Amino acid sequence: MTSTANTDVRAGPAGRLPVSPRVFIVWVVGLYALCRIITTTILFVVMQHQVPTGMTGGDDLPVTYWNFTALWDGQWYQRIAEGGYPSVLPVNDTGQVGENPWAFYPLFPALARLVMSVTGVSFPVAGSMVALLCGFGAAVLMALLLRPRIGDAATYCVLVLWASFPASVTLQLAYSESLAMLVLVGYLYALSRERWLVATVVAVLLGLSRPIGVPLGVVTLVVVVIRWRRRAERPIARREYGAMLASLVGCGVAGLLWPAVAWARTGSTTAYTDTMAAWRGYASVKPFTPWLDKAELYFGGQLGRLLLVVVPLVLVAMVAGPWAKNLGADLRTWSIAYPAYLGAVLDPFTSIFRYLVPLFPLLVVVLGAGWADRRGNGWTRLLVRAVPLLVLFVIGQYWWTDELWRFVPPSDYPP
C-alpha cells in the first residue's frame, strides 16, 4: 500500500545515491549517541554544582549522576512506579484538589517499574535508562519518517539539531519526553505509510503516555481526507474505510482514556481536570487566557498582545509556504495543530522549552531543507546553516541544565 507522503528516496543534489537502509540507521544511531554523550558531559559538569537535598537522595548524601537525572517530575514518576496512583484525591484547606500523581501518565512509570522488577535497580537508574532507550528508538523512527521527504544529508542534520535542542536533555532524564516522542513519531510513521490499524494501536499507547491525542486527531483527519480525495486514482476498499475510521477513533480514545481511568479509580468525573488545574496558577483550566496574561506580564500589554498575533502568523508562514512542501500535509498539520493545542491547554512558563521538543518538523524549514526540488540540501549548504544552530543549541543545553534542571533549595522553578 503506498503512502500519502512522498516516499521515494532519490539521489542527492550531487547525484550520489543514498546509502542502504541498514547503513543509514547505523549513522542515525551513531549521531544520536554522540549527541547524548555531549548531554551526559553537560549533566556531569552541572551536577557538581547541585546542592544535596531530599530530591537528590538526602541532604547528607553525595549527589550521584542517576539521582541527578530524577529530579522534579522524576520524583512523581518514582512515587508512581513504587506505589501507584491514589484512589482518593488530596484536598487542600480551601476544598480544592491538590497536586497529585494523576497529572502524570502511566506508561513511563510502568516501564520503569518493569525494569526495576527485572533488574533490581533503583528508579533513577531504571527511569533514565528507559528514557535513553526510547530516545534512540524515537531518533530512528524520526529519521525513517524524514528520509524519503528531505534526503539523507538533511535528515542527519535535522536529527542532530533535534537531539541537541536545549530541552533535549530530557531525552535521557527520568521524564516521559523520549517515550512520548517514540510513540509520536511511531504514529506519524504508521500514518505516512497508511498503516491505519497500526496507527490505531499506537494511538492507544499514546493515550497512556502523553495528552496529545487531540492534535494528532486533527493530523489524522487531514490525512484521511486527502486519501479520500484521491480515491479516483486509488480506490478505497470497504476494509480500508473501516481502518481509517479506526485510526480516528483511536485518537479520540487517546484523548479520553486517562481521564476515564482517573474517574473510574477515584470516583470523581473531574479527577483529571481538577488535578491538572492544581498544577497551574488558575483555579481551572482556562484556554488561551494564561498566554495573554503572561504576555502582558513579561512584555507589556500592547507588545504582549502583538506577539500573540505575530508568533502564530510566523508559525503558519513557516509551514504553509513552498519552503515546507516536502514536509507533507501530515507534518505541516502537526506543526500547527500541536502549538494550537498548547495554546489552549498550557500555562506558559519554564516548561515551555520541553513542550517544544515534538516540533521537530520546524527544523526542516529552518535548515531550508523542505523545498520540493530539495534545493540547498547538499552538505555544504546544510552545514553552513546547521553548525551555528548546533553551537547555540549545545550552549542552550548547558543553560537549561544549570538554570532550570538544577534544583536550588529551598524552592525553585521547575523545568
Q: Per DSSP, what are the bridge partners of residue 91? A: 97
Are 226 and 4 spatial neighbours (Cβ–Cβ below 8 Å)?
Answer: yes
How much is the pLDDT for 1? 40
Is 155 part of a structural domain of the chain? yes
Residue with grid cell 542532530, as numbered in its chain: 160
Residue 100 has pLDDT above 80, yes or no: yes
Q: What are the cell numbers at 42?
A: 553537560
Is 42 part of a structural domain of the chain? yes
Lowest-pLDDT range of 130-134, 304-308, 341-345, 399-403 = 304-308
Q: What is the mean pLDDT of residues 48-61?
A: 89
Residue 3 has pLDDT above 70, yes or no: no
Residue with grid cell 500592547, as numbered in its chain: 302
How much is the pLDDT for 2? 41
Residue with grid cell 543553560, as numbered in its chain: 399
Is 15 part of a structural domain of the chain? no
Is 16 part of a structural domain of the chain? no
Q: Total domain count for the chain?
A: 1
Are 90 and 100 spatial neighbours (Cβ–Cβ below 8 Å)?
Answer: yes
How much is the pLDDT for 301? 77
Please say whether the dihedral angle defined by the alpha carbons of residues 260, 264, 270 and 271, taken in this order, is positive or negative: negative
- Average pLDDT over all residues of the chain: 91
Is 14 part of a structural domain of the chain? no
The whole domain housing 256 covers: 21-405
Is 414 part of a structural domain of the chain? no
Is 4 part of a structural domain of the chain? no
Whole-prediction pTM: 0.92
Are 43 and 65 spatial neighbours (Cβ–Cβ below 8 Å)?
Answer: yes
Q: What is the pLDDT of residues 244-271, one digit of tens each?
A: 999 999 999 999 999 999 999 999 999 9
From first CA to last CA, the distance across the chain in angstroms is 43
- How confident is residue 281, by pLDDT bands cut at 50, 70 and 90? low
Q: What is the pLDDT of residues 284-294, one digit of tens each?
A: 667 777 778 77
235 Cβ contact partners less than 8 Å away, ≥ 6 residues apart: none
Question: Which contiguous run of DSSP H or E holds residue 340?
Answer: helix 328-345
How much is the pLDDT for 413? 82
Lowest-pLDDT range of 4-8, 250-254, 381-385 = 4-8
Helices (H), 151-212: 152-164, 177-192, 196-206
Per-residue burial over 103-117, b if 16 or more Cβ lie within 10 Å, else e, is bbbbbbbebbbebbe
Rounded to whole angstroms, how far apart are CA atoms 265 and 267?
A: 6
101 Cβ contact partners less than 8 Å away, ≥ 6 residues apart: 76, 79, 80, 85, 86
Residue 133 has pLDDT above 50, yes or no: yes
- How confident is residue 175, by pLDDT bands cut at 50, 70 and 90? very high
3-state secondary structure 44-97: HHHHCCCCCCHHHCCCCCCCCHHHHCCCCHHHHHHHHHHHCCCCCCCECCCCCE
Q: What is the mean pLDDT of residues 363-376?
A: 88
Is 389 part of a structural domain of the chain? yes
Q: What are the cell numbers at 58?
A: 538526602
